[in-house]
Chain A
């Protein structure tokens, strides 16, 4: 395309739809300049924390200036819609909840890097663009942006060999997945002469079917590596164990949410020609992920690693309902991915507070009698564990019930039974944690320290875990509209 034509077709006023993203970007640069200008001191640490919180709050506020319900901006490369807005707000809130923990964790562990603040901002920017685009190039660039920030943040643990090892594994396997995604995108472009996923999927015909399917398989393979589906999961436990624990929480919640959004956007465009192969491949991957992820978590003795495997298993739960390819299934998947980000983040954040104690080394027996050390932390940890297991009245129960419903609507009962079996396996390790915490004698005596911001953050996550479980329609009404709208748009093409 002629550069001048491209320039002429860009309306500058369309930048107002990008206001939250621009705010985050400006925040990253402000933090960067401050890092260069200011001398290292205690004041600088506090200034960084509060400036990050300020810019995230500004970004939240700037959502109120948007007035488009559904709109393609910048020649169709960027889509403003409700799903994007929901996920962006969630990502910003999750980042806000992580920041205070990151501050104290880095202080206590003597591994304070000012860089991590603006790298978090840049990865948040990548997540926000990833959540709101159908364009292959934009998806690729934002995928890289999120992943590279994750590699760096995984390695930012001073003096820890394991951290560098995990980051290196993540870098190599993540790099391979990015290459595979690019290769698949090239095939999809060759098949359809378009970079827009909507146009690519509706251009299906017998002549280009082979290229389209090869491209789709490669592209989905890359996403399977990113979200940790079972045959491609090897980097995930290492990277999650290696990273500083608040960063692990950030990767498992906001990162997973962002990586799932392009898959969710793809589901309404899987037409009847592709449906059976989509259903079979996705459901087999999901079944393997649920069973193997939970079985591997059962034998872990390291708590952080156990939660990492549980995160893999939850990817399986979300993926399983994508196989049903119905409006109900999409609703269940969106609901589950949102609520997993809440409960998974909560579990990792509690662990990050516990890790600051000298005597704590993440081994499972050490959690014995935690209730007598710290009541608040152990009760909130139990709440998150029960939510991950799926006990009513927490969000996990509603999520799993909806996933089962989504599978039952399309008569994929066998996958539903695999889900129940996997949940039964997971009971083994989740309940063991709770039993150790409440019914055993104190293993190590220590006093975990958390300040007011961390207290507020954990309380808010516990609150969300209960409220979204007891009154699911708070989130459900919005999600229901989103899903039906996505399907309506897809059927119009």
Chain B
């Protein structure tokens, strides 16, 4: 019996939301407009009506690079928190880590992964 309040809250929550949504659906005005059913894509026109086409390969390369530098930041935060405790040892370790990541960036650069003007024929 201790949780009866919680249970009643749950029932009221569910009932209220069902009632409000169905009232909205019953009483609200309905006007058909072409842009109402148009999928929203960051304010730019759709590439494709069905939204089922595959993306260009370049997007995946960008996604991978984003992941790489996301992880870099994720590792730098805890290091920054304990920076005073780790001292020179931590500094050298993080320097090596960043050095290796920089090599990755240089590699991506040289292999033209950062070339964002995709030429559809060449890829």
Residues of A participating in the B interface, judged by any CB pair closer than 8 Å: 3-4, 7, 29, 32, 35-36
Contact A3 B90 (CB under 8 A): yes
The answer for the CA separation of A32 and B110 in the assembled complex, in Å, is 12
Asked whether any CB of chain A lies closer than 8 Å to the CB of B101, the reply is no
Contact B107 A3 (CB under 8 A): no
Shortest beta-carbon distance from B95 to chain A in Å: 15
List, in ascending order, chain B residues with CB within 8 A of A3's CB. 85-86, 89-90
Shortest beta-carbon distance from B110 to chain A in Å: 5
Contact B103 A32 (CB under 8 A): yes
The answer for the CA separation of A3 and B87 in the assembled complex, in Å, is 10
Q: 1/0 per residue B91-123: CB within 8 Å of A?
A: 000000000000100110010000000000000
By DSSP majority rule, is chain A's interface helix, strand, loop, or mixed? helix
List, in ascending order, chain B residues with CB within 8 A of A36's CB. 106-107, 110
List, in ascending order, chain A residues with CB within 8 A of B106's CB. 36
Tell me the nearest residue of chain B to A6, going by C-beta.
B89
Shortest beta-carbon distance from A5 to chain B in Å: 11
List, in ascending order, chain A residues with CB within 8 A of B107's CB. 32, 35-36
List, in ascending order, chain B residues with CB within 8 A of A4's CB. 89
Tell me the nearest residue of chain B to A33, going by C-beta.
B103
Tell me the nearest residue of chain A to B109, going by C-beta.
A36
Q: List 14 A-B contacts (CB under 8 A).
A: A3-B85, A3-B86, A3-B89, A3-B90, A4-B89, A7-B89, A29-B103, A32-B103, A32-B107, A35-B107, A35-B110, A36-B106, A36-B107, A36-B110
The answer for the CA separation of A254 and B43 in the assembled complex, in Å, is 55
List, in ascending order, chain B residues with CB within 8 A of A35's CB. 107, 110
Can you list the 9 inter-chain pairs with the closest CB atoms, starting with the nearest?
A36-B110, A7-B89, A36-B106, A3-B86, A3-B89, A36-B107, A32-B103, A32-B107, A3-B85
The answer for the CA separation of A29 and B96 in the assembled complex, in Å, is 13
List, in ascending order, chain A residues with CB within 8 A of B103's CB. 29, 32
Shortest beta-carbon distance from B108 to chain A in Å: 10
List, in ascending order, chain B residues with CB within 8 A of A32's CB. 103, 107
The answer for the CA separation of A29 and B106 in the assembled complex, in Å, is 13
Tell me the nearest residue of chain B to A36, going by C-beta.
B110
List, in ascending order, chain B residues with CB within 8 A of A7's CB. 89
Shortest beta-carbon distance from B120 to chain A in Å: 19
The answer for the CA separation of A29 and B102 in the assembled complex, in Å, is 13
The answer for the CA separation of A32 and B103 in the assembled complex, in Å, is 9
Shortest beta-carbon distance from A164 to chain B in Å: 13
The answer for the CA separation of A36 and B85 in the assembled complex, in Å, is 37
List, in ascending order, chain A residues with CB within 8 A of B89's CB. 3-4, 7
Shortest beta-carbon distance from B101 to chain A in Å: 13
**Other A-B pairs, 8, CB within 8 Å; known A7-B89, A36-B110:** A3-B85, A3-B86, A29-B103, A32-B107, A35-B107, A35-B110, A36-B106, A36-B107
Shortest beta-carbon distance from B97 to chain A in Å: 15
Shortest beta-carbon distance from B105 to chain A in Å: 11
List, in ascending order, chain A residues with CB within 8 A of B85's CB. 3
Tell me the nearest residue of chain A to B89, going by C-beta.
A7
Q: 1/0 per residue B51-83: CB within 8 Å of A?
A: 000000000000000000000000000000000
Shortest beta-carbon distance from A3 to chain B in Å: 6
The answer for the CA separation of A29 and B103 in the assembled complex, in Å, is 10
Tell me the nearest residue of chain A to B82, going by C-beta.
A3
List, in ascending order, chain A residues with CB within 8 A of B90's CB. 3
The answer for the CA separation of A32 and B111 in the assembled complex, in Å, is 12
The answer for the CA separation of A3 and B110 in the assembled complex, in Å, is 38
Shortest beta-carbon distance from B62 to chain A in Å: 20
Tell me the nearest residue of chain A to B86, going by C-beta.
A3
The answer for the CA separation of A32 and B99 in the assembled complex, in Å, is 13
Shortest beta-carbon distance from A158 to chain B in Å: 14
List, in ascending order, chain B residues with CB within 8 A of A29's CB. 103
The answer for the CA separation of A3 and B90 in the assembled complex, in Å, is 9
Tell me the nearest residue of chain A to B93, going by C-beta.
A3
List, in ascending order, chain A residues with CB within 8 A of B110's CB. 35-36
Shortest beta-carbon distance from A489 to chain B in Å: 33
The answer for the CA separation of A158 and B26 in the assembled complex, in Å, is 60
Tell me the nearest residue of chain A to B90, going by C-beta.
A3
Tell me the nearest residue of chain B to A37, going by C-beta.
B110
The answer for the CA separation of A35 and B106 in the assembled complex, in Å, is 11
List, in ascending order, chain A residues with CB within 8 A of B86's CB. 3
Tell me the nearest residue of chain B to A32, going by C-beta.
B103
Interface centre among A3, A4, A29, A35 (most CB of B within 10 A): A3
Tell me the nearest residue of chain A to B110, going by C-beta.
A36
Tell me the nearest residue of chain A to B106, going by C-beta.
A36
Shortest beta-carbon distance from A464 to chain B in Å: 37
Shortest beta-carbon distance from B16 to chain A in Å: 45
The answer for the CA separation of A4 and B107 in the assembled complex, in Å, is 35
Q: Which of B7-66 contact A (CB under 8 A)?
A: none
Shortest beta-carbon distance from A473 to chain B in Å: 45
The answer for the CA separation of A3 and B89 in the assembled complex, in Å, is 8
Shortest beta-carbon distance from B54 to chain A in Å: 15
